[in-house]
Structure 1
Amino acid sequence: MLQRFFIFCSGADTDILKDCSAGENTKYAGIGATVFFTAVMAAIAGSFALYTVFDSVFTAIFFGLIWGLLIFNLDRFIVSTIKKRDNFFDELIQASPRIILALIIAIVISKPLEMKIFEKEINQVLLTEKNQMTLDNKDQLALQFTPNIDAKTSEILSLKEEIAKKEIAVNGLYDIYISEAEGTSGTNKLGKGPVYAEKRQKHDAALADFKILKEVNEAKISEAEKEIAQIKTDYETQVASTQPIINGFDGLMARINALNKLPWLPSFFIFLLFLAIETSPIIAKLLSPKGAYDYKLAEQEGTVQSWVAQQKAQRDILKTTDIEVNNRVYGDIAEEQAIYDYKRKIARKLMEEQADAFYKKQKSML
């Protein structure tokens, strides 16, 4: 039962194999087993690859099975279409397109399994890339918000500097009128005279202006600080909204790129393993000598080719003979006077009817 199934997988003609030795059956059962298990590995690899895309077990298994069946059908077709010839190089040329196809299939099968085998290393590479992308993202977003923050900060510093200068000027006027009252400067007269009153009045006016300026500038500073806080909040919101995109940087292409950044030698050996598995049925057929199955298959195909060639030759002879007979028959008929007179009569009648129809049409138009 199992042997028959593997023979079916090899694509061999079971009717021919029935008349062959047990060794021939075993050979093709081994080729079919290789085809079958290659398809199983393809289904597993395809399921894992699709799971990284759809993140759904049932979807991945369903399409993985379809992918495995596709690979099974391709491999079975490749093996079944290779025919044994008398020259090895002719066989190699015949199998070269199939070997190239097997190479492509091996790459497609091995890559998802490589990602599963090196999953921890790939996760480490992706983590490093995500951290760097987070920093780069913050820097890029900061380029949008930092100029506004710097402008507002510069405005606050300018307003505070204006307050400080005005305060220094008011304090200077205060020192002047106090010194005048103490007699240590100005008129150098002790007491509160007219000069003192004038300087005191000038200080009081400057103090009143300072209070108004301070109140206005502090309101502007408070508004600017609120705007800075809002800009920072917007920046943090933007960072938080873009972070899920970075966290989701874990798709199939990202993992393939991460795998390519790992040392190439382990991946290369895994690829060679699958290449050997995928090409083993073809190589087995190329290296194996001609067996009873091959001779019987060649005999059967030769019989069909001879029968087709014979049928074609007979059809060509029949066609040529029929043409010659028809030519002779119509040649004899053409020489008969009765046929000539009959066709002359029919032609005359047809011309008379055409003339009558033309006359009636012309008369109806008048």
Structure 2
Amino acid sequence: MLKNFFLTCSGVDKNLINECSNGEQNKYVGIGATVFFTAIMATIAGSYALYTVFDTIYTAILFGLIWGLLIFNLDRFIVSTIKKTDSKWKEFAQATPRIILAIIIATVISKPLELKLFEKEINQVLLTEKNQMTLDNKSQIAQQFTPEVNKINSEIDLLKQEISNKETETNALYQTYISEAEGTTGTKKLGKGPVYKEKRAKHDASLLALNQLKKENLEKINKKENTIASLLENQKLAEIKSQPIISNFDGLMARINALGKLPFFTSFFIFLLFLAIETSPIIAKLLAPKGEYDFKLEEKLSAVKTWATQQMQQREQMLNADITIDNKVYKDITADEELYNYKQKMARELMKLQADSFYKKQQKML
């Protein structure tokens, strides 16, 4: 049963192969087994590749099976359409398009399995890229908020500087009226005279203005600090919202790009392995000598070709004979006087009917 299944996979004619020797059958059993196991590997590779896209195991398995069946059908077609001839160059020329197709299939099959084999290394590359993307993302988001925060901080510094300048001015007035009372500066008279009272009044007015300025500016500073806190909170929220996008940066294309950053030869040798597996049925058929099955198939095709050629020639001869007979028949009819008179009579009647019809139409128009 298994032998019969692998013969089906090889694409041979069952009726012909059953007439061949056991050794000839085993050759095509091996080719069929290679086609089958290549399709199995394609199913596994396709399922994993689609799992990285959909993250759903059932969907991945379904599409993986479809992909495996497609590869199986292509390989079976490739192997079954290569016919053995007496010239190796003709066989190679016949197989060249199929080898190119096999290379494409091997590339498609090997890539998902490479992703699985080097999963840990790929994850490390992706982690490094995600960390760098996180830093770049924070920097880009900060560029949106930092100018506004710096502007508000500058305004706060100006408000604080305004308070500081007023405090300096008030302190200077305080020292002025104290020195006047002590008699060390100004009129240099000890005691609280009119000049002292005047300077004290200036200080008290400045102190009142300072307190009012502090109250107003502190309110403004609190509002601006609240604005800064709100901007920083929005900045943090923007970073949090964008982080899941960065965290999910591990799809199929990202993994393929990460695989490309790993050492080339390791991945290349795996590709060569799959290329050898995919092209092995074709190469085996090219290298194998012309066997019993090939002779039987060639004989059957030759018989069909000969039969088809005979049928075409017979139909062509029948057509030529019919043409010759028809020409002779119509030539004889042309000389028939009775037929000539009859057709002349019918033509005369037809022309009368046409003339009557034309006359009636013209009469209606008038």
Q: Which amino acid in the other structure matches residue 207 of structure 1?
A: L
Where do residues 153-168 of structure 1 align in structure 2 (5 Å cutoff)? 153-168=153-168
Separation in 1, partners of 2:355, 2:301: 67
Separation in 1, partners of 2:103, 2:42: 13
Q: Which residue of 2 aligns with 1:223?
A: 223
Q: CA deviation at 1:19?
A: 0.9
Q: Which deviates more from structure 2 when the two are superposed, residues 100-109 or residues 302-311?
A: 302-311
Q: Which amino acid in the other structure matches residue 6 of structure 2?
A: F
Q: CA deviation at 1:362?
A: 2.4
Where do residues 79-90 of structure 1 align in structure 2 (5 Å cutoff)? 79-90=79-90
Where do residues 235-274 of structure 1 align in structure 2 (5 Å cutoff)? 235-274=235-274
Q: Which residue of 2 aligns with 1:92?
A: 92
Separation in 1, partners of 2:169, 2:311: 123
- Which sections of structure 1, spanning at least 5 residues, go unmatched? none
Separation in 2, partners of 1:158, 1:358: 109
Q: CA deviation at 1:133?
A: 0.5
Q: CA deviation at 1:245?
A: 0.2
Q: Which residue of 1 aligns with 2:106?
A: 106
Q: CA deviation at 1:321?
A: 1.4
Deviations 1:145-201, CA, capped at 9 Å, x for gaps: 000110011111111011001100000000000000000111110001111111111
Deviations 1:74-99, CA, capped at 9 Å, x for gaps: 00000000000111111011000000
Deviations 1:309-356, CA, capped at 9 Å, x for gaps: 111111111111111111111111111111111011001111111122
Aligned to 2:324, the other structure's residue is in SS state: helix
Where do residues 273-288 of structure 1 align in structure 2 (5 Å cutoff)? 273-288=273-288
Separation in 2, partners of 1:318, 1:90: 38
Separation in 2, partners of 1:251, 1:212: 62
> Is 1:3 matched with 2:3?
yes
Q: Which amino acid in the other structure matches residue 150 of structure 2?
A: D
Q: Which residue of 1 aligns with 2:38?
A: 38
Q: CA deviation at 1:242?
A: 0.3
Q: Which residue of 2 aligns with 1:150?
A: 150
Where do residues 203-222 of structure 1 align in structure 2 (5 Å cutoff)? 203-222=203-222
- Which sections of structure 2, spanning at least 5 residues, go unmatched? none
Aligned to 2:289, the other structure's residue is in SS state: coil
Aligned to 2:250, the other structure's residue is in SS state: coil
Q: Which amino acid in the other structure matches residue 310 of structure 1?
A: Q
Separation in 1, partners of 2:348, 2:106: 81
| TM-score normalised to structure 2 length | 0.99
Separation in 2, partners of 1:286, 1:344: 75
Q: CA deviation at 1:365?
A: 3.0
Q: Which amino acid in the other structure matches residue 185 of structure 2?
A: S
Separation in 2, partners of 1:365, 1:278: 84
Separation in 1, partners of 2:236, 2:360: 98
Aligned to 2:48, the other structure's residue is in SS state: helix
Aligned to 1:250, the other structure's residue is in SS state: coil
Separation in 2, partners of 1:126, 1:358: 91
> Is 1:194 matched with 2:229?
no
Separation in 2, partners of 1:314, 1:272: 54
Aligned to 2:249, the other structure's residue is in SS state: coil
Q: Which amino acid in the other structure matches residue 342 of structure 2?
A: Y
Deviations 1:196-249, CA, capped at 9 Å, x for gaps: 111111111111111111111111111100000000000000000000000000
Q: Which amino acid in the other structure matches residue 234 of structure 1?
A: N
Q: Which amino acid in the other structure matches residue 116 of structure 2?
A: K
Deviations 1:26-51, CA, capped at 9 Å, x for gaps: 00000000000000000000000111
| TM-score normalised to structure 1 length | 0.99
Q: Which amino acid in the other structure matches residue 15 of structure 2?
A: D
Separation in 1, partners of 2:353, 2:225: 110
Separation in 2, partners of 1:68, 1:268: 23
Q: Which amino acid in the other structure matches residue 86 of structure 1?
A: D
Q: CA deviation at 1:361?
A: 2.3
Q: Which 4+ residue blocks in structure 1 deviate beyond 4 angstroms?
A: none
